[in-house]
Amino acid sequence: MILAEEFKAVSSELHNALLAVIEQEQANTGKEITVRYVTHEEFKAKTVDSRAVVRTGECTPYANVIFQAGVVF
């Protein structure tokens, strides 16, 4: 999972809520979910390679998330 570094400071309440959900999911499944932070500019550059986009209507600044699966195709 990739998040913008700015998400922590600008939207800390939502950031903490997301991390709590991720921690709960890890506890339920026993699978590790790696969280990596990049600058917002790096985040936008990474979206160019996206295979799918889910638009939720969330408008909190920097609250976008990139999920990566372990498949290469």
Residue 69: per-residue pLDDT: 80
Give the alpha-carbon dihedral of 69, 12, 48, 55, to 10 degrees: 80
**Out of 20-29, 34-43, 61-70, least confident range:** 61-70
Q: Is the pLDDT of residue 72 over 70?
A: no
> pLDDT digits over 45-69, tens only?
998 888 888 888 888 899 999 988 8
| Confidence (pTM) | 0.84
How is the beta sheet containing 36-38 ordered, strand by strand?
36-38, 2-4, 65-66
72 or 46, which is more confident?
A: 46
